[in-house]
Amino acid sequence: MATIRTRSLLARIPNPRLFCVGALIMLAVIALIVVGMVWMPYEPTAMSPDRLQGVSAAHLLGTDKMGRDILSRVMYGSRITFLVALGTMAIGAGLGILIGSVTGYYGGLVDEVVMRVTDGLFAFPTVLLALVIVSLFGSSTLNVMWALGIAFVPSFIRVARSEVIRCKHLDYVKNARLMGVRDARVIFVHILPNVSGVVMSNVMIGFNNAVLSEAGLSYLGIGSQPPFASLGQMISEAQEIFFTVPSAVLGPGLVIVLMVLGFSLMGEGLRAAERRMA
pLDDT digits (tens, 9 = 90+) for 84-109: 999 999 999 999 999 999 999 998 88
pLDDT (0 to 100) of residue 15: 66
CA–CA gap between residue 123 and residue 127 (Å, rounded) = 12
pLDDT (0 to 100) of residue 272: 58
Rg from Cα positions in the chain? 22
Contact assessment for residue 66 and residue 252, using Cβ atoms and an 8 Å cutoff = no
CA–CA gap between residue 73 and residue 85 (Å, rounded) = 18
Instruction: Tell me which residue of 198, 232, 213 sits closest to 93, measured CA to CA.
Output: 198
Residue 63, classed as helix, strand or coil, is strand
278 — pLDDT class (breaks 50, 70, 90):
very low
12 — pLDDT class (breaks 50, 70, 90):
low
Top pLDDT among 278 and 142 is at: 142
Averaged pLDDT, 122-132: 78
Instruction: Tell me which residue of 62, 13, 49 sits closest to 248, measured CA to CA.
Output: 62
3 — pLDDT class (breaks 50, 70, 90):
very low
Q: What is the pLDDT of residues 157-213, one digit of tens each?
A: 999 999 999 888 888 888 888 888 888 888 888 888 888 878 888 888 889 889 998
User: Which CATH fold topology does 75-277 show?
Assistant: MetI-like fold (1.10.3720)
pLDDT (0 to 100) of residue 28: 94
pLDDT at 276 over 60: no
139: left (phi over 0), alpha (psi -120 to 50) or beta: beta
pLDDT (0 to 100) of residue 267: 83
Contact assessment for residue 100 and residue 164, using Cβ atoms and an 8 Å cutoff = yes
pLDDT at 120 over 90: no
User: Average pLDDT of the chain?
Assistant: 85
Other beta carbons within 10 angstroms of residue 139's beta carbon come to 17
Model pTM score: 0.85
